[in-house]
């Protein structure tokens, strides 16, 4: 991390920065919506909303849209061969991502390309995108559902971002973390150079961000993975944990590290598309087989799959817990099922 890369801008001048990024490509940033904030493509810089804690939906849909077509074709007498859908990507700037979400991208990279089988759609979007991370506001308490500290993530960790931002009074401090981020910052002429006091503030903020702020338990990857192997058949524990679950799947849709999808062919008025759509292991028919057999008919079996995938199978296969403690699943669950409590109960089971 080079000290010379620190820049700054007054928050009330953020529109100038946004406009410059929009000229270079697609700018995606948090905007305020009826139920909370979400990442959206910015058309008007004034829509950017930085006074948020974390977004309702994770930003995974920037790289992995909820629905996308791979090929289009025409059926019937005017039938045409299937034509691949071109991505036509412009450079993109994902602005204001919290450190736990930035960490989720690295976990998803493992699933989507780092272990050898490359998902070209995920990779192309990742390669086209500059990540501009943003520290949580340490002057405010963390959301009660958060537990990213348990997963070793600090509230102001710059790792994984190309540029990392810290708020200092009425200014934003921006530091280039990767050469790509530094080059971008150096080309943005509306930014002022940070001074020694800014450097000190930034460094101390990152350090302070490592102090415990969220719910926290002592969790060793291998130990929890093994524990779940041991209690996989403990039906009493799993039914207790799944009590009240509606199988609605919201917890998986909001999660930055859930990536199940379905691929189907759909045609309407003979216009066909091969389409990828998010799916969820919490849905009743997720494992329904063509024969009519379903190996996971019970709610507890589906919750077990979700939790064990993140905390055991992922550790065994990729050496990483596939959860960043963002708390979204807990905040969104209509019956208050809390994955942190599920994991802490497992340690006692």
Which stretches of the chain bind ligand SF4, using CB under 6 A?
245-251, 254-257, 282, 310, 323-329, 332-335, 337, 339
The 8-class DSSP code of residue 313 comes to I
Nearer to ligand SF4, 175 or 328 (CB): 328
Residue 309 CB, shortest distance to ligand SF4, in Å, is 10
Angle (nearest 5°) at CA 7 between 206 and 158 = 30
Nearer to ligand SF4, 205 or 261 (CB): 261
DSSP secondary structure, 253-284, as one string = HH-TT---EEEEEEEETTEEEEEEEE--TTST
Residue 314 CB, shortest distance to ligand SF4, in Å, is 11
Neighbours of 283 (CB within 10 A): 17
306 and 282 in contact (C-beta within 8 Å)?
Answer: yes
Residue 43 CB, shortest distance to ligand SF4, in Å, is 28
Assigned token pair, 56: 């309702």
Nearer to ligand SF4, 74 or 284 (CB): 284
Query: Would you tell me the crossing angle of helices 221-230 and 339-348 to the nearest 10 degrees?
Result: 70
Nearer to ligand SF4, 114 or 320 (CB): 320
Assigned token pair, 176: 């280039």
Angle (nearest 5°) at CA 129 between 166 and 214 = 40
Nearer to ligand SF4, 39 or 93 (CB): 39
Closest CA to 256 of 64, 89, 79, 74: 64
Residue 32 CB, shortest distance to ligand SF4, in Å, is 21
Nearer to ligand SF4, 265 or 319 (CB): 319
CA 328 vs CA 129, 130, 143, 198, 230: distances in Å: 24, 24, 10, 32, 27
Nearer to ligand SF4, 184 or 245 (CB): 245
Residue 110 CB, shortest distance to ligand SF4, in Å, is 14
Nearer to ligand SF4, 161 or 252 (CB): 252
Residue 58 CB, shortest distance to ligand SF4, in Å, is 7
Residue 325 CB, shortest distance to ligand SF4, in Å, is 5
Q: Which residues contact 79 (CB under 8 A, 6 or more apart)?
A: 73
Residue 318 CB, shortest distance to ligand SF4, in Å, is 15
Q: Which residues contact 254 (CB under 8 A, 6 or more apart)?
A: 56, 57, 58, 328, 329, 331, 332
Q: Where are the alpha helices (DSSP H) in 25-93?
A: none
DSSP secondary structure, 108-175, as one string = HHIIIIITS---HHHHHHHHTEEEEEE---TTSPPPTT--GGGGT--TT--TT-SEEEEEETTEEEEE
Nearer to ligand SF4, 84 or 212 (CB): 212
Residue 156 CB, shortest distance to ligand SF4, in Å, is 18
Residue 331 CB, shortest distance to ligand SF4, in Å, is 9
Q: Is the dihedral of CA 321, 325, 330, 332 positive or negative?
A: negative
Nearer to ligand SF4, 168 or 298 (CB): 298
């Amino acid at each position: 991390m080079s000290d010379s890369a620190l820049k700054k801008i007054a928050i009330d001048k953020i529109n100038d920065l946004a406009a410059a990024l929009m000229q270079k490509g697609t700018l995606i940033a948090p905007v305020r919506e009826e139920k909370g904030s979400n990442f959206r493509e910015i058309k008007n810089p004034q829509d950017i909303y930085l006074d948020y804690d974390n977004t309702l939906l994770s930003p995974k849909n920037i790289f992995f849209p909820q629905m996308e077509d791979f090929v289009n074709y025409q059926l019937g007498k005017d039938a045409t061969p299937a034509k691949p859908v071109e991505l036509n990507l412009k450079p993109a700037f994902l602005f204001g991502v919290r450190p736990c979400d930035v960490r989720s991208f690295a976990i998803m990279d493992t699933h989507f390309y780092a272990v050898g089988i490359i998902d070209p759609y995920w990779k192309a979007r990742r390669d086209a995108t500059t990540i501009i991370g943003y520290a949580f506001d340490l002057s405010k308490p963390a959301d009660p559902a958060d537990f990213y500290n348990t997963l070793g993530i600090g509230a102001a960790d710059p790792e994984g971002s190309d540029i990392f931002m810290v708020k200092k009074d009425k200014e934003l401090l921006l530091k280039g973390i990767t050469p790509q981020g530094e080059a971008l910052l150096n080309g943005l002429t509306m930014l002022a150079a940070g001074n020694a006091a800014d450097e000190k503030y930034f460094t101390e903020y990152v350090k302070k961000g490592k102090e415990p702020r969220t719910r926290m338990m002592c969790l060793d990857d291998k130990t929890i993975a093994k524990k779940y192997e041991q209690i996989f058949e403990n039906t009493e524990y799993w039914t207790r944990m799944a009590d009240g679950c509606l199988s609605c799947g919201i917890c998986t849709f909001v999660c930055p590290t859930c990536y199940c999808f379905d691929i189907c062919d759909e045609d309407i008025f003979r216009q066909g598309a091969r389409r990828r759509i998010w799916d969820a292991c919490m849905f009743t028919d997720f494992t329904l087989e063509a024969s009519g057999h379903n190996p996971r008919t019970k709610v507890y079996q589906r919750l077990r799959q979700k939790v064990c995938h993140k905390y055991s199978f992922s550790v065994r296969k990729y050496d990483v817990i596939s959860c960043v403690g963002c708390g979204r699943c807990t905040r969104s669950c209509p019956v208050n099922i809390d994955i942190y409590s599920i994991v802490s109960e497992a340690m006692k089971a």
